[in-house]
Amino acid sequence: MEETNLNQTIRCIVKLGGAAITCKNELEKINEENLETVSSHLRQAMNLGSCSTQVVGMDWSKRDAVSDISSSLCDFGDQCQFNVDFSRFVVVHGAGSFGHFQASKSGVHKGGLNQPLVKAGFVATRISVTTLNLEIVRALAREGIPSIGMSPYSCGWSTSERNVASADLSGVAKAIDSGFIPVLHGDAVLDERLGCTILSGDVIIRHLAEHLRPEYVVFLTDVSGVYDRPPTDPNAVLLREIAVDEDGKWSVVKPTPQSLNKQVEITVAAHDTTGGMVTKISEAAMIAKLGIDVYIVKAATSHSLRALRGELRHGIPDDWLGTVIRFSR
């Protein structure tokens, strides 16, 4: 695989979990409130060095009932001086209530592109996930973030038995070096063995982390982090720190194992075609193994904002709610 050269290291790769930014039980419905807060948090996190608080939107398209956009453009004027120096982030989002339905109905993740239903499902899945991608790019752009949608399928990502077989990251690197924030997503892709499959956002994150080596990775989810059992269970305990060893094996450091009275369980959402928490923890462990801290935290909270800003890199405050996954020799 081609080596990826960047002018400078990137600061953070952030995953917007499908469950955090969409209404998971309602077909193709965005959680507008969460998405707006997350976009604002991202702007604050990317804008660390700047004292500018003025937001100048970069989505100049029509919105719903608004047909005249000239008014929003007057803000720019000719002397327009808005901040576009954002620190280097990459955003990857999941599908949530976009794509999953189309993928599971047709079995795209199982392959078999020569079957008419699978081929139709492939097309339908891509339409659904790219619709979500466009909405997220627009939400970020409205916050003044120079976001650029980059569909993995179009960018040349493909798999072999669901493992990444090729991914031309030079386009992502070039976008970052040009000052843009690439926005990738879980996608339907071609698979050398299966014909096609679903490439999850978590697998994309791991691959990007491996090749772009960010300072830290943040997973924004719809729960506070990783629990010892399904978080809906009233006795569920939040795992605050997980250590990963050189073999990629992970163990709970905090709370101490003695205080946990049973083995760690993990939740798997019923219609999550890409594996839910199992995938997330093992992908996160693979990233931590590279020496990159991973924070799993609830989206649109003060805790996620702190994680995004990189405040946890020198120590985890006691009042921070979330899961840290890090390498320990």
Binding site residues, a copy of itself, CB under 8 A = 27-28, 56, 58-62, 67, 69, 73, 76, 80-84, 101-102, 105, 113-114, 116-117, 119-124, 126-128, 130-131, 134, 137-138, 141, 146-151, 153-156, 158, 168, 170-171, 174, 178-180, 190, 195-196
Task: Identify residue 15 by its one-letter amino acid code.
Answer: K
Contacts of 66 (CB under 8 A, 6+ apart): none
- 65 labeled part of a ligand binding site: no
- 276 labeled part of a ligand binding site: yes
The least distance separating a copy of itself from the CB of residue 205, rounded to whole angstroms, comes to 18
The least distance separating a copy of itself from the CB of residue 146, rounded to whole angstroms, comes to 5
The verdict on whether omega for the bond into residue 255 sits within 30 degrees of 0, i.e. cis, is: yes
Exposure of 165 in the CB half-sphere (CA atoms within 13 A): 16
- 280 labeled part of a ligand binding site: yes
Does residue 2 come out as left (phi exceeding 0), alpha (psi in the -120 to 50 range) or beta? beta
The least distance separating a copy of itself from the CB of residue 208, rounded to whole angstroms, comes to 15
The least distance separating a copy of itself from the CB of residue 257, rounded to whole angstroms, comes to 46
Between 198 and 296, name the residue whose CB sits nearer to a copy of itself: 198
Between 21 and 305, name the residue whose CB sits nearer to a copy of itself: 21
Between 1 and 127, name the residue whose CB sits nearer to a copy of itself: 127
- 222 labeled part of a ligand binding site: yes
- 269 labeled part of a ligand binding site: no
Phi, psi values for residue 22, rounded to 5°: -125, 165
- 41 labeled part of a ligand binding site: no
Token pair 């924070």: residue: 295
What radius of gyration, in Å, describes the C-alpha atoms of the chain?
A: 20
Between 211 and 309, name the residue whose CB sits nearer to a copy of itself: 211
The least distance separating a copy of itself from the CB of residue 93, rounded to whole angstroms, comes to 15
Between 74 and 270, name the residue whose CB sits nearer to a copy of itself: 74
Tokens of 270: 């019923």
DSSP 179: T
**DSSP, residue by residue, 167-180:** --THHHHHHHHTT-
The least distance separating a copy of itself from the CB of residue 43, rounded to whole angstroms, comes to 14
Between 120 and 266, name the residue whose CB sits nearer to a copy of itself: 120
Between 13 and 155, name the residue whose CB sits nearer to a copy of itself: 155
- 78 labeled part of a ligand binding site: no
Token pair 């790019």: residue: 137
Contact 186, 276 (CB under 8 A): no
The least distance separating a copy of itself from the CB of residue 29, rounded to whole angstroms, comes to 8
Local structure of 104: helix, strand or coil: helix
Crossing angle of helices 201-212 and 276-288, in 10° steps, is 0
As separate numbers, helices (DSSP H) first and strands (DSSP E) second, the chain gives 9, 15
Residue numbering of the annotated binding site for substrate: 95, 100
| Residues in binding site | 95-96, 100, 201, 222, 276, 280
Q: What residue numbers does the annotated binding site for ATP cover?
A: 96, 201, 222, 276, 280
